[in-house]
Chain A
Amino acid sequence: MDKETRLGLYETMVLSRSFEEAILRDYHADKKPNWDIGAGLIPGEMHLSAGQEPVAAGVCAHLSADDAVTATHRPHHFAIAHGMDLKLLAAEIYGRETGLGKGRGGHMHLFDPSIHFSCSGIIAEGYPPALGQAFAFKYQGINSVVIAVTGEGAANQGAFHESLNLAALWKLPVVFIIEDNDWAISVPRDASTSIRSNAVRATGYGIRGVRIQDNSVEGVWDASRTAIEKARAGEGPSLIEVHTVRLWGHFEGDAQAYRDDLESLIDPIAAYANQLETDGILTHELVQHIAEESKNRVDEAIEFAKSSPLPSPEDVEKYVFA
């Protein structure tokens, strides 16, 4: 891997983390002293992806805006890595008229046709629409691919298995990604899944499956390069499972009393920074510079969101039908 690529991966992860730290701050800022999920600048459930940035950065480094991504209820890292406009993303999270969905969607329902991005709040149910995007690309003779993301809990859903079979059968240009963060909300992987690696399940559908054990952004980059090239070449789908880490709660406000692994978690961004410093690619100054650049972009986006108007109640019935 060349230096620019490695730096790019780092920058993408930092931008995503920086964005989510800002969301985290504003989400909790005005929910005190009595915590109310529906109160404040950012109401509702909030699923942040801190720790899982290597998956999104590694995969999306191979994509252009012509490629599609269907993400999950925890979508920000993929949205940012795939190049979503931070202002439109932030404005949607803050429920503003200027947001991606004009405040009708929220953080689990982000739709950006300019980069073929969508996500679903229902476990595993983002896979089937991904098949349709892939089908359309193939039918239209467009050399684009679709990245379909779920968590490891979703691999026990029917939609997951139906989708793998159909994508394999029709040789659709899809790369299925499983973010295994060990926890389906509070249920550990060992209590939900009968096998240790979901990559094995790919074999059952006659497609290639790999598992990346160490949340390594370069490992993800490498595996997804192969899978994406294969999909673009018309050789059908692949499955990549990444053993990643959920640094924060399932949602904000989740006290995580059920977790016994919090002490042992490794922050993949700090770990990658160390690695890049050791390899002479990052310096302390560069780390500072990238952090500042990211913060500036994020601050600008959050400012845009906060200064944007809320949607007007009179318009609530707009957009039910085209």
Chain B
Amino acid sequence: MVLIETSDASVATRNLTTAKAMVEGISQEMERDPSVFVLGEDVGSYGGIFSSTTGLLEKFGPERIMDTPISETAFMGLATGAAVEGMRPIVELMFVDFFGVCMDQIYNHMAKIHYESGGNVKVPLVVMTAVGGGYSDGAQHSQCLWGIFAHVPGLKVVIPSNPFDAKGLMISAIRDDNPVIYMFHKGIMGLPWMAKNPRSLGPVPENPYEVPIGKASVVRSGKDASIITVSLSVHHALDAAESLAQQGVDCEVIDLRSLVPLDRDAILESVAKTGRVLVVDEDYRSFGLSGEIAAVISETDPRMLRVPLRRLAIPDVPIPYSRPLEYAVLPTADRIISEIKLVMA
């Protein structure tokens, strides 16, 4: 096992998109461990609707890369049963929005079996799914919903924001003995058919490596305010921080990378330093990640906050279709800048 911190991405000699980094992680684990296999909708010859399995069918064949019927309950449960018998399935569900049709298999079965069995039965599997909006896909194809999975005991939740973490977290997720929900934002995959953040292409080491689950990353160090976020919003936060730096505001940006386990120490360390916090979350505002982070701080020592914490999250409305409406709810760089100005005021 080789652990490499984010800073070590600088040693890599080539750039990959997030999608290709994920695929490389899966591919290397499949070569190493014959118990790893992939199943889901359009993961075979299509290569995954968001290119998360491109080339795997050609390399590993239909015995290990399997297209399923549109029967999410059946194939999600299949992954759980196979994991119980010693396999390490990677199961893709195309959009996180579709989990409603198979949630029982996730929150009542894969998440609980280890506990209910008193630790006698392990369920090592990875569920990977696309999240996020910004391209007018409407209310049933644009959500993040990570708060739902993080809420249920027994599921680890990882959300890479860049190619390096995408590969390292995928390898860690596959090797983990627990069910891991691996959520990738469409806007960071580097897809040729969707507007993408420039950081969706980045340096990735060729050798297998792990990014530890449950460890946040300080992606920009700063002293004035902490922006605590995850996924595509990390990039919006970095863009906002660059702009704010020119106006004399020095922001720290924390990429949580995992929601379960949550790196409370990283959050508290940053808050202790800056005393000002903006949580940016592309999931819904109420009963979710932003409230959880506020609670972590309050329960530890609310006096660390020099001003009240602010949160920029999707207001409690379904994601609208029409562009001006959708962008009225998404946490963009401009809105982050406005929020930071309020935090600094």
Q: Give residues in A with beta carbon < 8 Å to B.
A: 68, 70, 99-106, 109, 111-113, 116, 118, 120-122, 125, 127-137, 139-140, 158-159, 162-163, 165-166, 169, 318-322
Count residues of B near A (Cβ-Cβ below 8 Å). 45
Once the chains bind, are A128 and B73 in contact (CB under 8 Å)? Answer: yes
Q: What is the bound-complex CA distance between A166 and B101, given in angstroms?
A: 16
Q: Could you tell me which residues of chain B, from 76 to 94, have a CB within 8 Å of some CB in chain A?
A: 76-87, 89
* Cβ 8 A contact of A131, one of B77, B115, B117, B123: B77
> Is B69 a contact of A122 with CB atoms below 8 Å?
no
The reply to whether B105 and A165 contact each other, CB–CB distance below 8 Å, is no
A158 to B74, CA, bound (A): 9
Q: Chain B nearest CB: distance from A95 CB in Å?
A: 12
**Closest chain B residue to A102, Cβ basis:** B118
- B81 with A319: CB separation less than 8 A: no
Contact status A166-B85, CB under 8 Å = no
- Determine the distance from Cα of A151 to Cα of B89 in the docked complex, in whole angstroms: 29
Q: B154 at interface (Cβ–Cβ under 8 A)?
A: yes
The reply to whether B119 and A132 contact each other, CB–CB distance below 8 Å, is: no
Pick from A106, A120, A166, A320: contact of B154, CB below 8 A: A320
Which B residues, 248 to 299, have Cβ-Cβ distances below 8 Å to chain A? none
CB distance A105 to B116 under 8 Å? yes
Q: A105-B118, A120-B109 are in contact. Are A131 and B154 (CB under 8 A)?
A: no
Chain B residues, CB < 8 A from A131: 74, 77-78, 81
Question: Least Cβ distance of A176 to chain B in Å?
Answer: 12
- Give 6 closest A-B pairs by Cβ, nearest first: A128-B77, A132-B81, A102-B118, A129-B81, A136-B85, A111-B117
Ordered by A's residue number, 9 sampled pairs between the chains whose C-beta atoms are within 8 Å are A68-B85, A101-B118, A102-B118, A103-B118, A132-B83, A139-B63, A162-B74, A320-B114, A320-B115
Q: Does residue B221 face the partner (Cβ distance < 8 Å to A)?
A: no
Contact status of A129 and B63, CB under 8 A, knowing A116-B85, A118-B113, A319-B115: no
B119 and A318 within 8 A (CB)? yes
- The reply to whether A129 and B118 form a contact with Cβ atoms under 8 Å apart is no
Distance in angstroms between the alpha carbons of A305 and B113 in the assembled complex: 22
User: What residues of chain A lie closer than 8 Å to B114, measured between beta carbons?
Assistant: 319-322
A contact residues around B87 at 8 Å (CB): 132, 135-136, 139-140
Distance from B137 Cβ to chain A, minimum over Cβ atoms (Å): 25
Cβ-defined contact, B108 with A100, below 8 A: no
- Which residues of A are found within 8 Å of B118, using beta-carbon distances? 99-105, 319
**In the complex with contacts A102-B119, A136-B86, A129-B73 CB distance below 8 A:** no
